[in-house]
Amino acid sequence: MNKNVLITGADGFIGSHLTEMLVAKGYQVAALSQYNSFNNWGWLESINCKEQIEVLTGDIRDPHYCKYITKDVDIIYHLAALIAIPYSYVAPDSYVDTNIKGTLNICQAAKENGNIRVIHTSTSEVYGTAQYVPMDEKHPLQPQSPYSATKIAADAMAMSFYNAFGLPVTIARPFNTYGPRQSARAVIPTIITQIANGVKEIKLGDLSPTRDFNYVYDTCCGFIALSECDESIGQTVNIGSNFEISIGDTLNLIKELMNSDVKFIVDDERIRPSKSEVFRLWCDNSKIEKLTGFKPKIDIREGLKRTIDWVIQPENLKKYKSEIYNV
């Protein structure tokens, strides 16, 4: 294996795990971290193969930079995005710049540098609340937040480059990924960190919505399987577990695994506007299995155990500001 790959958003949660997995498989990895004056590489600071990758610092919002970093690359895994839904309510312009224009810049650079293979990252949020379950790739798209709207547009932009220019694009659409290194704005690390810090009452939003949680190892395996499958070019493909669980039941499972008696309190500040809340997500993952043979391996109980074991390590726990509401 001697393929050169570029991972945008490599400094983030999923991107850092994908970086490790691709290095282990023998790929030559260039990992893009968002430029900052501290020269902080995000979660790339914590990975076990830092010496084996090339870390790039820059910004996908700059088209010249995107063209520069995509030279001599065989595959681009495009994960860089703004993803927090609450922040998209107050800063939607930033989401347009990063998610839509950033995707345009990457696709244009891939086209100009020799039609590079692109795995573009979508999200199950583009579906909105399920109109039927399980949700296959034909499910209608519903922009229930500015974040979701920009991801719908980014997916369309990526697919337009396949249709108009023959760019070999696959749209990977992961459902709710969780695991070590996930941001504290997500519900699972929010709960684990607070229980680990001895909190007796935890403020949360609505506990009734359901999600299809996918452990990060499985999500990354799905990305790689799609990149190795030529039949997936020009396709949008779900990555999920085909298992639905409510937020409330997920939290109770975490309580059980951590032997906690914590109480959950609904906090109005954390409840989304009623038309913006996605009440049900349940992935139909039959397409990815048919195309690639991929099946998720880690169930919710095992995945939560692994996540808890990682979060409660003192060096990891101190990286989370569990006492504040992280949007």
CATH number, domain at 307?
3.90.25.10
φ, ψ of residue 290 to 5 degrees: the values are -65, -40
290 domain-assigned? no
CATH number, domain at 226?
3.40.50.720
Residues 6+ apart with CB under 8 A from 249: none
- What average pLDDT does the structure give for the chain? 96
pLDDT > 80? residue 47: yes
Classified as helix, coil or strand, 83 is coil
Pair (171, 36) in one structural domain: yes
Pair (97, 196) in one structural domain: no
Residues 187/194, Cβ–Cβ less than 8 Å: no
For residue 273, say if its preceding peptide bond is cis, omega within 30 degrees of 0. Answer: no
pLDDT, mean of residues 19-26 = 98
291 domain-assigned? no
292 domain-assigned? no
Pair (184, 65) in one structural domain: no
Pair (122, 231) in one structural domain: yes
Closest CA to 29 of 66, 57, 2: 2
Pair (249, 147) in one structural domain: no
pLDDT at res. 1 = 58
Residues 220/17, Cβ–Cβ less than 8 Å: yes
Question: What is d(CA 145, CA 157) in angstroms, rounded to the nearest whole number?
Answer: 18
Pair (128, 195) in one structural domain: no
Pair (141, 188) in one structural domain: no
Pair (112, 18) in one structural domain: yes
286 domain-assigned? no
Confidence of residue 326 (pLDDT cuts 50, 70, 90): low
pLDDT at res. 206 = 87
Pair (128, 266) in one structural domain: no
326 domain-assigned? no
Question: What is d(CA 206, CA 250) in angstroms, rounded to the nearest whole number?
Answer: 13
Confidence of residue 327 (pLDDT cuts 50, 70, 90): low
324 domain-assigned? no
115 domain-assigned? yes
Give percent of the chain with pLDDT exceeding 90: 92
Which amino acid is present at 274?
A: S
**Which two three-digit tokens encode residue 105?**
């810049």
The answer to which of 99-103, 152-156, 198-202, 290-294 has the lowest mean pLDDT is: 198-202
Give the pLDDT confidence of 140-197 residue by residue, as tens digits.
999 999 999 999 999 999 999 999 999 999 999 999 999 999 998 899 999 999 999 9
pLDDT at res. 8 = 98
pLDDT at res. 268 = 78
pLDDT at res. 231 = 98
How many domains does one find in the chain?
Answer: 2
pLDDT at res. 316 = 96
Residues 258/308, Cβ–Cβ less than 8 Å: yes
Determine the structural domain holding residue 131 and report its residue range: 4-177+213-239
Pair (56, 129) in one structural domain: yes
Give the pLDDT confidence of 184-238 residue by residue, as tens digits.
889 999 999 999 999 999 988 889 999 999 999 999 999 999 999 999 999 999 9
275 domain-assigned? yes
Pair (188, 304) in one structural domain: yes
Pair (187, 40) in one structural domain: no
pLDDT at res. 145 = 97
